[in-house]
Chains A and B, each alone.
Chain A
Amino acid sequence: MNKLFDKIVVTGYSAITAAGIGTAPILLAHNEGCSALSSIPDNNSQQWGKAGFFKASDFMPPLKARKMDRSSQLATATAGLALKNAGIDIKTMDAERIGIAMGCGFCGVGNSSEFLTGYFNSGVEGLAPMLFPNTVSNAAASNASIEHGLKGPNITLVQRFCSAESAFLMACRFIENDQADIMLVGGIDELIPLIIEGLRSLGQHKTHAACFGEGCGIIILEKTESAHKRGAHIKASVDNICTIGMLPPDLESEGCKLLLGDCATIKHIGLSGTTTSTPALMNRLPESNCIDISTVVGRSLAMGATSMACLIDSIQCSENALHLAASPEGPYFSIRFKGGLSE
């Protein structure tokens, strides 16, 4: 499917990753060929992109932080940073017109394993009811919406390495059909040693899960009219989103053509998910400035939002940029931006 948009702009973004806060440290490390990956404790042969510096209490009262799982803490903190970057004060706006769409990876798995471990070790006496509500994938988006008072459309999606892109498409549609003026759209991933153990059990630590990362990226999408009305600085406009679910061998060429279209004017390309290990796509890309943040902060299921934020941060006014995301069995997304406001 291929959807064109002409009235949606990006007015803010932020990220919390292993590289630090915001997009600047990621881009700096990327440009200098550095990495924020570190050794996994008790496993020196493998690295991960753990945002070990992140302390929720830097962003919210400790008592509040204690009620949230790590994904929710990361999402709530990043949402605050992104709203600030966009110059949005929700208290002065109609909260029912502001929503949130999050793609997530292993959110809730940490709480689920902790909850179940209590049960397996000690029976019903070991059950901690406080952990259960945050075992759901939508805990991060919901906690962020509760903390920031976002009463518009609220959605969480998981779709392989394109979870954030899936959220991005839905958020654009909510704005397009007037369900919201502003959407926070992001991706959130949480890493715990158990997840690495699980990935190792499946043999995926040798393939696309070799250097997994965690963190959160959030982009503020806004109706152009709304952005103009409040005098917001427009960082980019959303031109087009194209997605296909699969690339079957017999339809590979046709699928790539549908997904990529004409790339002649593209100046910058952001590569997310497993795009770099998908030759059918890589071979069809033009010579451009490519940004692959997985070398800096690790690859993750919902890394797309951070990747898009870094791409937008890299483009100048009127420059065309392409965000490309792939998953081992699909789906695939291409999202086109133009720097500044589209003519």
Chain B
Amino acid sequence: MKNKRVAITGIGVFSGAGKNVHELTDALLNSRSGIAPIDMIDTSLFTTSLGSQVKNYNQLEYFSKRDSIKLSRADQFGLIAAEEAITNSGIQGHYSPWEMGVSMGAGAAGMFQSESWLKEQLSGIKASLTLLRGLLPDRTTTEIAKKFKLCGYQNSITTACSSSATAIGWGADLIASGAQKAVLAGGSDSLSILTFAGFNSLRVVDQNPCSPFSIGRQGISLGEGSACLVLENEEEAMRRGATIYGFILGYSLAGEAFHMTAPEPSGTTAARVMTNAVKSAGIDLNQIGWVNAHGTGTPLNDIVESNAMKLVFGIKAAKVPLVSTKAMTGHCLGAAGAIEALATVISLKNNFIPQTLNFKGRDPDCDLDYCHDGRRPTNSTIAISNSFAFGGNITSLVLSK
């Protein structure tokens, strides 16, 4: 990304921690979590009912009955967040439709509806056909492109929990390389029986709200939602008088080639990706003020990410706060990277480092600064946002105010 600086000119979010940018900002400022008992799926057979569900969601408040039937929950979340981002970017009409693209990350996508189809099929009931419409994770991208007439590039990245961080990095690269003038980038995902049962079966779900980097943490709290960013070349954004919320300075990604679910213990690949992201941003490591961790709250992941920090920052690692916003938003899987990138942008813009909630005590293997004590003011203007995924897919974004 040496050519053009990539400005963030529109932001939107719809999640369990906040149904718009104002609400998410408020949650971050006041360390308020969206994790609570969920009611969209039957959790009675599991040891926990907790998650960060979008509460009191009435699709008819946002879509006509006809459209709501055609769109999966994840598609709907994506369209709502995209609308907020596109609206506050004021971008419509400034570029040719061919110069504007969409790059979204996805995870379980329409599984929440599709699993109802399967359940009805297994019961011998004739299932409603529309339940299958959003099964594939590319649907959200297509719907966003159609609604906002973004006729340029379109793509859906599906690397599980790093999907939407990569979608944003790749979207920024399309701008930096001059391939597109504007890109709507982000991610969307919804809770589902598949993911709730799946992570529970692997015994990596905490019975209490997740407590990243704390002693006694047991795992993740799942979440759902969407976040979108409008990305543009800085010069053109300034020329049209756009509000600039921040910048994507660089990104990097790699595969660990180690194990489908377990991270490589030393954190070597994660460290390489973070280092390469900083290099691609063309900045010095000393300029990184803090890191928004992948920070799931699983015993192993948090140690590996702490190890990676030490490999990247050396003896200065303890002076670079490593915070996890997942204790507020839940782990939103395919949307996690986008929601966390947005949380980072909001925090940078408002000069604070968010708190890592639910501290239970210090873990000797997690011996860095995790901002457990509370939100902290900062003069830092640059942060990293990390995303790790099943399969060893790792992505780091470098963001600035």
Contact of B156 among A99, A100, A151, A158 (CB under 8 A): A158
A window 295-343: CB within 8 A of B: 301, 329-331
Residue B370 lies at the interface, judged by CB distance under 8 Å to chain A: no
- 5 closest A-B pairs by beta carbon, nearest first, are A142-B391, A154-B255, A245-B154, A137-B158, A132-B198
Residue B234 lies at the interface, judged by CB distance under 8 Å to chain A: no
Residue A179 lies at the interface, judged by CB distance under 8 Å to chain B: yes
Cross-chain pairs A/B with CB under 8 angstroms, 8 sampled: A99-B254, A116-B193, A132-B198, A132-B201, A153-B253, A154-B392, A201-B117, A203-B129
A window 71-123: CB within 8 A of B: 95-96, 99-100, 104-106, 109, 112-113, 115-117, 119-121, 123
Residue B101 lies at the interface, judged by CB distance under 8 Å to chain A: yes
A window 1-58: CB within 8 A of B: 1, 3
The 0/1 profile, CB within 8 Å of A marked 1, for residues 102-117 of chain B is 1000110001000101
Bound CA span A333–B159, Å = 22
- 5 more CB-based (< 8 A) A-B contacts, given A96-B254, A156-B158: A127-B201, A132-B202, A150-B257, A154-B255, A254-B98
Are A248 and B158 CB-contacts (below 8 A) given A136-B390, A330-B142? no
Residue of A whose beta carbon sits closest to that of B133: A202
Are A137 and B137 CB-contacts (below 8 A) given A129-B202, A153-B255, A158-B106? yes
Residue of B136, B155, B160 with most partner-chain A CB within 10 A: B155
Task: Determine if B390 and A255 form an interchain contact, defined as CB atoms under 8 angstroms apart.
Answer: no
Bound CA span A246–B97, Å = 10
A residues sitting closer than 8 Å to B (CB atoms) are 1, 3, 95-96, 99-100, 104-106, 109, 112-113, 115-117, 119-121, 123-124, 127-129, 132-139, 141-143, 145-146, 148-160, 163, 166, 170, 173, 177, 179, 194, 197-198, 201-203, 243-246, 248, 251, 254-255, 258, 301, 329-331
Q: Which chain A residues lie closer than 8 Å to B132 at the CB level? A: 198, 201-202
Task: Determine if B142 and A157 form an interchain contact, defined as CB atoms under 8 angstroms apart.
Answer: no
Contact of A146 among B119, B138, B392 (CB under 8 A): B392
Residue B127 lies at the interface, judged by CB distance under 8 Å to chain A: yes
Are A136 and B391 CB-contacts (below 8 A) given A3-B179, A244-B151, A245-B152? yes
B residues sitting closer than 8 Å to A (CB atoms) are 1, 45-46, 97-98, 101-102, 106-107, 111, 115, 117-119, 121-122, 127, 129, 132-133, 135-138, 141-142, 145-146, 149-160, 166, 170, 173-174, 177, 179-180, 193-194, 197-202, 252-261, 269, 272, 276, 389-393
Task: Determine if B391 and A158 form an interchain contact, defined as CB atoms under 8 angstroms apart.
Answer: no
Are A330 and B145 CB-contacts (below 8 A) given A124-B197, A245-B150? yes
Shortest beta-carbon distance from B141 to chain A in Å: 7
Bound CA span A133–B261, Å = 7
Bound CA span A134–B90, Å = 41
Residue of A150, A159, A201 with most partner-chain B CB within 10 A: A159
Task: Determine if B255 and A115 form an interchain contact, defined as CB atoms under 8 angstroms apart.
Answer: no
Shortest beta-carbon distance from B283 to chain A in Å: 17
Q: Which chain A residues lie closer than 8 Å to B391 at the CB level? A: 136, 138-139, 141-143, 145, 154
Task: Determine if B159 and A158 form an interchain contact, defined as CB atoms under 8 angstroms apart.
Answer: no
Shortest beta-carbon distance from A254 to chain B in Å: 8
